[in-house]
Structures are given as structure tokens and as C-alpha cells.
Structure 1
Amino acid sequence: MHDVFSDDGPVRLFFHDDDETPLEFMRNLLRTVFGKSRKEAIAVTARIEAQNGFACGPYPATVAKALLESAQQLIRSNGHPLLITASAADAARPCDLCGALEPVTDVFLIRRTVCLCGNCLISARASSENLPSEEFRYAFMALDWHFAGTPRNQIMTRSRQFPGHMRADVQIAIDRLFDAPIHFFGIHEQHRYETLAIASLMENSRNAPPIAPPQYHDVDVGEPESVKCLTNGLWLCQTEELRYAVLLSYHRDYQTEPGLRIELAVPAGAAGNALMQRTFAELEAAVHAARSYRGKILSLEDGANYHGRSRGLTVHRLPTVARDVVILPERTLRLLDRNVLDFVESRDLLRKLGQSTRKGILLYGPPGTGKTHTIRYLATNLPNHTTLIITAEQVGLLGAYMSLARLLQPTVVVIEDVDLIARDREDVGGPCEESLLNKLLNEMDGLKEDCDILFVLTTNRPEELEGALAGRPGRIDQAIEVPLPDEAGRGKLIRLYGRGLPLEPPVIDAAVQRTAGVSAAFIKELMRRIAQASIARGGGQDVTAEDIDGALNEMLFDGGRLNVKLLGGAQGMSAG
């Protein structure tokens, strides 16, 4: 065999009849490897049966060797005994496959350049559709079959990039758009620090990216089932007029959230350009419609710095907070309802009347009064709203959060402890932090009047914000105080946090009178200590005034001033 192929002369390939290899397999082999039509394949197999064999060719030696290797690989993988041998021929034909006198183009096929006429070129393209995916070992082989007849310098590519935290929505969109490809492959990434691109997949070298099993990662979207997301993927697709390829990969940057990269490859020209524009438009619309995170409570991961770095989204599963467990003065609750819940219900009518549908709320009050609990009440009672929770440390991610807010409208953007980014320029770190507050206010300024975004800011020190907010009137539409609980509120809190204890009315009244000026957080801890005292004294069967006295003394006096402050005790109280 070595002598036949080393001659560079024409070579014939002879099919031997063995009475064991199924005819259907031989027909498939002739169609997928040798480019025969269905009718031609049936005719050839009939002649193999009738003549105990049949000679195909002649072909140039390089083409014959490539065809023989591909045929033998397919025969071995299917476990058939079919024998094909090669022998020298006397003459070559202009078309390397069928011998037509007017070859039309050079085609790179199975690591070789062959010259094909128009009919054989069509057959070569069609044959790639019938080749089993496992026949392709490397990405460049699959792409060469797919774009047979199109020179590499006549293939154009274009890409779009999506934030990595939108991975689930991008996957859902891709599954919807490219659900019936000719072939689909996973790609083995030898160097994870590099971004896969179509150009690198076409590389035919020792570093050629091999085809590999698709790799998936489960992404939590707050549903019973997570979304199965690809690490990378290559889709070979076709429309009525064109073939194209789609590559999903990650654009990686050190310590920064990887971006999802979608790259399209099409034959150059007006038709290819139109296909690209149409496909990207459909992709972006499908991503927007995926709605994996709409209506949920979210925060960006790993954003504890001011460098805008994040690795994904966290979905918070918070139980619904009923109105009757939000222990605030009734006037405060009514103010919340009017400015948030009722406002949201009126948005459509406000928009028709030409009024703005964006809004800013500031919740302020001492630590431990229930601002976070109030936000949970709002977040779990606003129908179909997405809530984004931003801590002061994450304000560097504000740009990413605002992109999400616009995409996932209607949205509630919560920024907790906003006073931490509003310190004066003279403070240490002031200039940086003040610029972040300005960035927040600029984002609020830049929103369209008809956007459905509600800002809820919280602070323990409203005086830190007065100067900045007074200089930008209209950013906050309503400031709402979340005060220390009054007498009625303290009674409700004692019953709420002591609901498992056998509390008699006189005991509750005594606890209410002894806790004037404390925070809700203080009462929550007080009831735990009363429970401990009741267990130690009588197994938790009853609660006495002595249990209350002991717990209060421990919290307000025995621990000193710092303990009082840490627990949210009454202002001005100290150790006796």
C-alpha cells in the first residue's frame, strides 16, 4: 500500500464483496465518504453484489489515501468486515471525485486539498450532514466539512458578549434558537485562560482543539430545577440558503466575572451579513424573553470591593412576610403602603396621565428597628417585581446592578446602609466614597421617566445624607422613619418573639413597661434570654417577673455601656 500512495500517480479503490457487510451500511459509506448520491450508491452496491466487487476512482494518490482512511475508520467503528484495497491506475481525471473535465474549485477536505466539480462539491457538503458526529476528532475537521467549498478567507465572524451572571438566560435562548443543528459538539479547552474563537477552532496543528463531550454546570435560578448551562459548544447549522456556525465560549479576565461570548461564522457577502444581523437580533430578543430571574430576589456574588468584579447571581429564597408581622406604627405602615404598594398598582394609570413611574424611598432610623425586615415585607409582597439587594460594599458593582434592573423591570433596587458611601470629602476614603454616591445619584438621574424601577435606600445616620440629597432634589420622593417601637409595638414584638412561651398578660405588661426606648432587635434577644431563664428554672413551663428582671439586668447593666449599645438598648442607660 505504501508503494501505491508514494507514487503520486492515480489510485483506484476496490470494494470487495464479503456477503456479511449489510448493503445499507455500504450505501451509507458511499454517500457519506465518497459523495455518491442515493441512486449512485444503490447502483454501486448492486454491482458489488453482481461482480464480487467494484472499483471507485481513479483518484489522485492523496485523495485516495484520505478517502480510504475515512472509509476504514467508519468500517472499524461499526464492526463490519468490509475490505477496501488500493491499486495504481493509469490516468487521472480533472475532478478528483467524479472525473468531470471542468473542476470548479479547490476544497480543503479531511486534511487534504482536492479539486471538485459542481456536482461533487454539492455532494461533499451534503455528506457532512450524514456523517456521525463521532467521525470528527477535531473542530477544524468538522468546520472544513461544514464550509466545504468556501475558502477560509471568505468566512467572516462576528460576536456578542453577555454578562456571565446572565448565563441561564443565554442558555435558554440558545436552546430555543439552535435546537436542530446539523451537528453539535463540545470543545476541549486545553488552556482555560484563553478565549475560544472560531479562528482557533480552525487551527490544524498539534494544538488543534479536539472535540469532547459537552460539559454542563447547574445554575440555580430559584426554581425546583436548575438550568443546565454549557461551558462551551459548537453548533453547525444551515438555513435554506447558507451554512453557518455558532460558538459559545467564555471571555475570561483575571478576577473578573467571565463574560459569555457568542460568535457566528458565515460565508462573506450580503446574504451572510443579513443572516448575522437577523440571528443576533433573535438571540438578544430570546435572552430578554427568557425570564429566568424575573420576579425573584437577587444579589451579585463576590463583590466585596470597588472594582466591579462579580462571579454570578445569588437567588434569595425568602418566605413571604405578612403585614401583621411588620411591627411598625400604623401611620408608618400606611405611608409605606401608599408610597410603595399602592404606587406600584397605580403605575399604568400614572403613565397614561404623563406622570413618572420611577421612585426613590429612604428608610431611616436607629439600628435594629426593622428596616431590613420592612424591605423583606416589600420584596415579598410586590407582585412580579425583581428585587436587587446591594450592600454598601457592592456599590462598585452598581453598573452591573443597573443593567440588571433595566433588563428585569419592574425592579426594586435596595441599597442598604447608603450612608457608608456618603461621607464627607475630609474623611479618610471620602473622595472615593463620595464619587460612588454621585454615581448612584447619576444612575437615578439617567433613568427614563417611564421606567419601572423603585429605589429603596436604608440608613442608620440620615444626617450623613442630607447634604448630598439636598443638592439633588427629586432623587428621593419620600423619606420614611422606621422608629423605635412604641408601647403598642413592644407588646406585639413580645408576643411575636415569645409566641412559644406561656406568657400571661401581667408578664407581658411588665416586659412592655421595662423596655421603653429599646429596639426590635433588643426585644428579640430579650425573649430568647427569658426563655433560657424559664427553662433553667422550671423547664420552660411558665414565665415570671423574675425571669424578665434577670434577663434585663444581664443585658442592660451587667455587660456595661458597650453591651447596651450593641444590643440596641435604651439610650442613656448604663451599668449601675
Structure 2
Amino acid sequence: MFDMCIPELVALSHTGLALTVIQIFSKGGMMAYLGWLLLGLILGVAISFPVLKAFRRKTSHQDSVVPLLKSHFHPSPIGAITITERTFPMRVRADLQIAIDQLFGEGITVRHFCGVRGEFSHHGVNLSDCLIENRHSATVTIPPEYEEVDVGVEQPVRVLKIGLWLLEKEAIRFAAFLTPAGHYGQVTGVKLQVGTPNTTQGTKIAQEYFSHLEKAIQQARSYRGKVLSLEQQEHSYSGESKGITVHQLREVTRDQVILPAATLELLERNVIQFVKQRERLSQFKQSTKKGILFYGPPGTGKTHTIHYLSRTLPGHTTLLISAEQVGMLDEYMTLARLLQPSIVVLEDVDLIARDRNHMESPCEEVLLNKLLNEMDGLKPEAEILFILTTNRPETLEAALASRPGRVDQAIEFPLPDTEGRRKLIHLYSEGVTVGAEVIDDVLRRTAGVSAAFIKELMRRAVQFHLEREGTGEISSADVTNALDEMLVSGGSLNLKLLGATGVTV
């Protein structure tokens, strides 16, 4: 039986492998069994390899992007195609996707659409890769992949990750290709390429295509007029992509801004009235950008007032910059210019803009210079309002605090006086009843506290009220228990934390 297999085995191999199998057979027993096993492997490879190769060649040809593009541009040869490219920041993906979708409804016919993948590409895929056959790194069609981007509304925007459109406009065939852009393996933007015939008409189509996208992104409908901050984390816990976070601030009305009359008047004149008169100021060749410094002890209402202003100034986009995000200041300012009229809020500015003489490293001075240059380098007609906040104005760098054109007006937020504390008690006791005698008792015992202290006091008084199963009217005992816990039990550190350093216990 072995003799019958030997000729066929020899015929299958030109490398001497069959002779090795013959030697194994000749030893009999277990070795013969191993020989049959090896023979089966050789026959399996010999039969399946050509089949798999033919199948791969057939599949690759059917899924390849190249034939699609050649057929689309026929009779123009691939060599007559020119590619125009633009790269957009990742943070404008939502507006870019909306603009692309709108463009296809304006005289452009979509003849084919698909996703694209480079089978063995580690550096991304370009439109030029889709025009040339490459056995070693073929570009093939795949189902399109989308990612959802949160823009602060109920439904996120579905943005395409990578895709190819075969298009036609006025009998001219062209293609658009969307793909991630980046450096060293890190995605930093979105690249859009348009391939058109190398003719005057083709060039015009590419220019009109990008002009439409540019105008749509300048309008920035997804984020304009909202309260925003930039995020390093690209995805939220919901799985949606972020990059830009849209904040839903609480609604603060004018009567909820508890400030001295003179402070409130200064605020409205330099912010609200200034914005209303911007157009006329511009007509008289005056600058329409402005810098305001809010300063005062912690808890006196600086952030609370910013919530009020963001609601009061219609059409303004508010950008919230925390001290640790100042490294992204240039990107914030790009958004501020794109989305103007805008408000740029930099809280606790003393953390990066303190006096140079007290800085401990060159990095701190670099951040300060970046801030100064951004505030001073804006064009006069830029409709950008800077609001800086600090609890320590005396530590600020003079080049910031004493330079009109950067900071034009400082507004002090003092500790509330008696009348202010009375209004704060009414503001923060909504939902319960506080009698006149109880209010007078609170006023007598809280001289020198901040607005934040009154807010916390009322919350604790309500909690004590609930613990004794009260009926909705705050008693003197509730207030006393709350004050004792805040002013006595926690010691001097608690007084400082709650903004009650001026209180004598």
C-alpha cells in the first residue's frame, strides 16, 4: 500500500519533503502513523493554497475601491485627476458633518457611498491610495462607520469616521474622501479630500465645495450661543464623543444677583450696556473687545454673576477656562473668534497671572505671556469679552491688572451687608417659610459672612428642620443648630472654608 502512495507523493514535492515522509513510512509503527499525518497536511496545503489564493484575488478585486473610481471617472484616466485637500480640527467634526450632509442636497448627486479601509496600512488612507492598485496594501470598501458627538442637545450628531462619496455636478464627475488626520499615530483632525478632473470646471467644483464647508463651519450652529469648555477626554461615560462639553448652567435672573446697588450699576454699564452699544462703538472706530476683572473674597457671587451674564447676553457663546486648562488657551481663543460674539471666562486668574517676581519657574511666565498676548493681540473689532475672576487681586501681574486694553474695568464683589444678607436668605429659603424674627436673628449673628455661607446656612437649617419632621416653617432652633455646627463645631478652619472669617464666635 505504501508503494502505491510513493509516486503520487514524490510528484507533489520538489523540495525533498516527500522523501522524508518515505523514510518515516519505512520505519513502521508510530512513525508510519506520523507519516500519514504529515502526508495529509501536505495534500491539504497543496490543494487549498491555489484555491485560497484565487478566492483572495477574486474577493480583493470585487471589494477594491480602485475599480469603483476608475469606472466613476471613465472615460477620464486616473492620471488626469487632481486632488485638493483641507484639514479641520477634531472639535468641528459635528458642524463639518452637518455641512457635508446639506451640500449633497444642493445640486450634487451622490452616485455611490461607502466606507474605506486600507488592509495593511498603518498610516491611514488617502484618496490617492484609492486610485492605484496595490497588492500589498489594497484599499477595500467596507460598511461606513459613524461616531456620535454630544453637542448639548437631546440627539447627538452622527459623524462619519472614514468614507468615500462618488459625486456628480453639472455632468462633471468628482469624488470626496473623508479620513482622520494625525501625527505619529495620534488622530488630531479630520482631512477632507476632493478629487476632480484637472480642468477649469473641475477646479471650480472643488473651490465651491470647500467654500460651502468653510461658510458652514464659520456659522458653527452646533455650539454657537452655548456655554462651552474644552475637554482632553474624548469620550464621556455615555460613550459619546465630546471634545467640547456643553454646560447647562442654572438660570439666574437679575433679582437673584445680590450685590450693592453701585456694584450692580457698574456691572451692567460695563458689560450689558457695552454689548448693546457695540455696533455704534464700531461705527465710531472704537474697540469692541473688553476685559473685566471680578475680584473679592471667596463666595461673594462672582461665578453666580457669570451665570446671570451668560443668560442675559443673547447670542453670546461663553467659554469657561479653568486654571489647569490655560495650556489650551490658543485653542480656546480660536473658538472665541470663530463663535463671536463670545465671553471668555478665566476663573482664579491669579493662579497663572501672579506677579512675575513671585513666579518659581519659566513655565509659569510662559503661560502668563500667552494670556497677555491673546488679550492684547485681538483685533479692535473682535467681539470678545474677557471676564477674569480672582480672590487675590493684590497678587496679579501689573501688566495684566494695570493695562487698559487688557483689563478695562475692575469690579469688586464685597461681603454682603445687612440688606444683602436679607435678600440672600429669601433667595435660598425658597420652598420653606422663614419668619421675620428668625431672619432678624440670622442677620444679627452672620455679620461678615459671604453669600455662599448664607446659602449653606439655609440648607443646613432645612436639614435640621426635616430631621425633627417639621411642617415647612424654619424655627430659631433650626437656625441655631445650623450656626453652631458651622461656626463652633468645625473650629477656625471651618470658618475659613465657609467664608466666615469675619465672624466672631
Q: TM-score, normalised by structure 2?
A: 0.80
Listed as ranges, the matches of 1:116-265 within 5 Å are 137-179=63-105, 180-188=109-117, 194-202=123-131, 203-205=133-135, 207-240=137-170, 242-253=172-183, 258-265=188-195
8 Å CA contact retained: 2:176, 2:193: yes
1:336 to 246, 267, 278: 267
Separation in 1, partners of 2:147, 2:121: 16
Is residue 251–residue 261 contact of structure 1 (8 Å, CA) maintained in 2?
yes
Q: Report the Cα offset of residue 406 of structure 1.
A: 1.0
Distance in 2 of aligned mates of 1:464 and 1:244: 60
Does the Cα contact within 8 Å between 1:534 and 1:543 map onto a contact in 2?
yes
Write the distance in 2 (CA, Å) between the matches of 1:434 and 1:330. 38
What is the alpha-carbon distance in structure 2 between the residues aligned to residue 192 and residue 569 of structure 1? 63
Secondary structure in structure 2 of the residue aligned to 1:246: strand
The equivalent of 1:474 in structure 2 is 405
Pairing 1:385–2:316 present: yes
* More deviation, 273-282/230-239: 273-282
Answering whether residue 214 of structure 2 is matched by residue 289 of structure 1, we say: no
Write the distance in 1 (CA, Å) between the matches of 2:395 and 2:264: 25
Distance 1:471 1:191 in 2: 59
* Per-residue deviation, 1:414: 0.9
Distance, in Å, in 2 between the alignment partners of 1:472 and 1:193 is 51
Instruction: Report the CA distance shift for 1:423/1:431 in structure 2 as closer, same or farther (over 3 A).
Output: farther
RMSD, aligned CA: 2.7
**CA-CA distance at 1:435 after TM superposition:** 1.9
Shift in Å, 1:505: 0.3
1:334-413 → structure 2 map (5 Å cutoff)? 334-413=265-344
- Moved beyond 6 Å, runs of 4+: 254-257
Which residue identity lines up with residue 127 of structure 2 in the other structure? I
| Alpha-carbon distance in 1 for matches of 2:496, 2:207 | 62
Cα distance change of structure 1 residues 346 and 426 upon mapping to structure 2, 3 Å threshold: closer
Mapped pair 1:537 → 2:463: no
Residue by residue over 1:82-117, the C-alpha shift from the partner in whole angstroms, topping out at 9 and shown as x without a partner, is xxxxxxxxxxxxxxxxxxxxxxxxxxxx96xxxxxx
1:278–1:187 Cα change, 3 Å: same
Task: Report the more deviating stretch, 369-378 or 233-242.
Answer: 233-242
In the TM superposition, residue 189 of structure 1 has moved relative to its aligned partner by 6.0
More displaced 10-residue stretch of structure 1: 355-364 or 316-325: 316-325
Q: Deviations over 1:130-169 (max 9, x none)?
A: xxxxxx6222221121223444443222211111111111
**What does residue 299 of structure 1 align with?**
229
Query: Take 1:474 and 1:427, find their aligned partners in 2: how far apart are those partners?
Result: 24
Amino acid at match of 1:185: C
Q: Give the letter aligned to residue 165 of structure 2.
A: W
Counterpart for residue 443 of structure 1: 374
Distance 1:282 1:502, change over 3 A: closer
Name the SS for the 1:314 alignment partner: strand
Task: Confirm whether residue 320 of structure 1 aligns to residue 251 of structure 2.
Answer: yes
Amino acid at match of 1:267: P
- How far off is 1:471 after superposition? 5.7
Q: Check conservation: 1:422, 1:468, Cα contact below 8 A.
A: no
Structure 2 counterpart of 1:139, one-letter code: V
d(CA) in 2 for partners of 1:368 and 1:193? 53
Letter paired with 1:330: A
Could you tell which deviates more after superposition, 310-319 or 496-505? 310-319
Tell me whether 1:462 sits opposite 2:393 in the alignment: yes
Distance 1:241 1:311, change over 3 A: same
Query: Could you report, residue by residue, the CA deviation over 1:32-56 in whole angstroms, capped at 9, with x for unpaired residues?
Result: xxxxxxxxxxxxxxxxxxxxxxxxx
The number of aligned residues is 439
The correspondence for 1:489, drawn from 407, 420, 430, is 420
- Structure 2 residues not aligned, in runs of 5+: 1-54, 235-240
Query: Which structure has greater helix proportion?
Result: 2
User: Larger deviation: 208-217 or 366-375?
Assistant: 208-217
Q: What SS class does the counterpart of residue 307 from structure 2 fall into?
A: helix
Cα displacement (A) at 1:252: 3.2
Question: Equivalent residue for 1:267?
Answer: 197
How far is 1:427 from its partner?
A: 4.7
Structure 1 residue matching 2:314: 3-state secondary structure: coil
SS of the counterpart of 1:357? Answer: coil
The answer (yes or no) to whether the contact 1:561–1:573 under 8 Å persists in 2 is no
What amino acid is the match of 2:90?
A: G
Greater alpha carbon shift after TM alignment, 412-421 vs 199-208: 199-208
**Distance change >3 Å, CA 461–CA 256, structure 1 → 2:** farther
Change (3 A) 1:370 1:192: farther
What is the CA distance between 1:534 and its match in structure 2? 2.0
Change (3 A) 1:494 1:572: closer
1:398 positional shift: 1.1
Aligned to 2:10: none
Deviation at 1:291, TM superposition (A): 1.8
Q: Quick check: 2:81–2:195 contact (8 Å CA) kept in 1?
A: yes
Which residue number in structure 2 is paired with residue 3 of structure 1? none
Identity %: 52
Distance 2:465 2:220 in 1: 53
**C-alpha distance after superposition, 1:419-441 (max 9, x if no partner):** 11013445565421222122122
Secondary structure at the counterpart of residue 423 of structure 1: coil
- CA gap of 1:459–1:158, structure 2 versus 1, over 3 A, is same
- Paired residue secondary structure (1:367): coil
**Which residue number in structure 1 is paired with residue 447 of structure 2?**
516
Measured at CA, do residues 356 and 191 of structure 1 come closer, stay the same or move farther in structure 2, by a change above 3 Å? farther
Q: 1:312 to 1:458 in 2, by over 3 A?
A: same
Point out the more displaced range, 260-269 or 374-383. 260-269
**Contact map agreement 1:193 1:252 (CA 8 A) in 2:** no
Deviations 1:197-245 (A, max 9, x none): 1122234325323212222222222333332211122111123363221
Quick one: distance in 1 between partners of 2:183 and 2:497?
42
Q: RCO (CA 8 Å, sep 6+): is it higher in 1 or 2?
A: 2
Q: Which whole-Å CA distance do the structure 2 matches of 1:261 and 1:490 have between them?
A: 56
